[in-house]
């Protein structure tokens, strides 16, 4: 029986792509680096903002301007993280449904906790029991530390936890953590990319399929 449902944030609960793109381009423009399209940024997302910025500049982390560019991105994004960000259709009703059934709901994201928390609480107030993001001492996904920390926090066994994400990083996170999972195909990887990168991973096309999917796996 599943007790703890853990969600990725960007690309799973909310569409943050436009705001991420704008902050990336703000930082790039300060140094006259080539600007990035929405598609460029989509493909670079998945391992946290440090990797996002590195993948967006010439020579990646080896660029002597990398750390300054990252700092400028973070400063801009911290003030502009919810300009064009929107919730995905159906998420609110699914969260309310799961909460009413007694599930513990949590978020595990590579976003900084201080940035993730107001976004989650702003779009989905009083629905999540814990928001775990990037912070000192916490390994980023696809490492298992976030999932293991949430399981320990709620005294839940791994077989009682379930993870939902939208990228190959999320697949790797679930596998590394030893928890069951499903990937959504509406997020930051196309269905074709997921089928190529994640092979036999279970997938759903709409978040509205999640409650039925949980019932299905629990009946096996």
Residues noted as catalytic: 8
Burial of 175 (C-beta count, 10 Å sphere; 0-12/13-18/19+): middle
Q: Report the C-alpha gap between 99 and 135 in whole angstroms.
A: 27
Q: Report the C-alpha gap between 125 and 16 in whole angstroms.
A: 18
Q: Report the C-alpha gap between 85 and 59 in whole angstroms.
A: 29
């Amino acid at each position: 029986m599943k007790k703890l449902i853990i969600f990725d944030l960007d690309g799973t609960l909310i569409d943050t792509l436009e705001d991420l793109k704008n902050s990336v381009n703000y930082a790039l423009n300060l140094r006259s680096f080539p600007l990035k399209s929405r598609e460029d940024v989509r493909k670079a997302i998945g391992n946290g903002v440090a990797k996002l910025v590195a993948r967006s500049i010439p020579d990646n982390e080896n660029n002597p301007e990398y750390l300054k560019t990252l700092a400028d991105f973070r400063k801009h994004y911290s003030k502009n993280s919810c300009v064009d960000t929107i919730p995905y259709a159906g998420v609110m009703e699914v969260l309310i449904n799961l909460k009413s059934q007694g599930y513990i709901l949590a978020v595990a994201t590579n976003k900084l906790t201080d940035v993730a928390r107001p976004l989650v609480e702003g779009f989905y107030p009083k629905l999540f029991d814990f928001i775990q993001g990037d912070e000192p001492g916490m390994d980023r996904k696809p490492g298992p530390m976030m999932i293991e920390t949430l399981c320990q926090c709620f005294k839940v066994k791994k077989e009682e936890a379930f993870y939902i994400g939208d990228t190959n990083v999320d697949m790797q996170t679930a596998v590394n953590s030893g928890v069951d999972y499903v990937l959504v195909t509406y997020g930051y990887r196309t269905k074709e990319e997921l089928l190529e990168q994640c092979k036999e991973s279970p997938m759903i096309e709409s978040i509205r399929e999640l409650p039925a999917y949980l019932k299905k796996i629990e009946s096996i």
